[in-house]
Amino acid sequence: MRVLVAGGAGYIGSVTVAHLLECGHEVVVLDNLSRGHRDAVPREVPFIEADLADTSKVSQSMSERRIEAVVHLAAFALVGESVTDPGLYYRNNVTGGLSLLDAMTRSGVRHLVFSSTCAVYGEPARVPLVETDPLEPTNPYGETKLAFERALRTYHRAYGLTFVSLRYFNAAGATAKHQERHNPETHLIPIVLEAAAGVRPHVTIFGTDYQTPDGTCVRDYIHVADLATAHVAALEYVRGGGEPGVF
């Protein structure tokens, strides 16, 4: 399958690209490099430096490369930043995402896997969550991801787009070839390791009133390699005729 990975130069995207190649798929990476790294993309993989908002360029690239499916990992994902600059998140995650869907429609690409988030649920009333639990995001990051999910359903009804949205929790870990490179670093595990190595003076723990034994937050993690495997499995599922939906 010929797959366009939007955001393929980022943390999760680069690992997903590697797994797609291992599974025998042809890959093209599209990234504006605002948060990704060019050297995270293998030299043999065609690379297009472009913004999702450039619908014409994205559509032309899909047509020229005869793309059959898209994995969308190009959303911004910092909760705090989304609160202080919500416009940035609505422009990139919603407007940019819609431009990607329009480019797919123009070029006849019908299959998409969306890298969504558990943030669409907000503060859960119970754990573990299930897909049918209420959707009540508490920040613009979650709101924008949910807005794009809803757009996917309307594009499915109107244009026949097939899709899977993956509402995963916190990505963590590294592979032999890919590691975390966030600037600024906001992920907990690298911050803890930096404190242990003396790179930063301490770790700040936020919150004292969670319903946990010591009142601090308990977080769920998924290894980035497992997450890449899930994205590829979802892609093969939807390409094989699976029903659109969320997982």
Pairing of strands 111-115, 69-72: parallel
Q: Hey, how many other C-beta atoms are within 10 angstroms of the C-beta on 54?
A: 16
Distance CA(58)–CA(106), nearest Å, equals 10
Spatial CA neighbour of 5 closest among 41, 37, 39: 41
Spatial CA neighbour of 89 closest among 72, 77, 105, 71: 77
Distance CA(235)–CA(228), nearest Å, equals 11
Which residues are CB-contacts of 162 (< 8 A; sequence separation ≥ 6)?
Answer: 110, 111, 112, 156, 238, 242, 244
Active-site residue among 11, 89, 121, 141? 141
Question: What distance, in Å, lies between the first and last C-alpha atoms of the chain?
Answer: 22
141 is catalytic: yes
Catalytic residues, by residue number, are 141
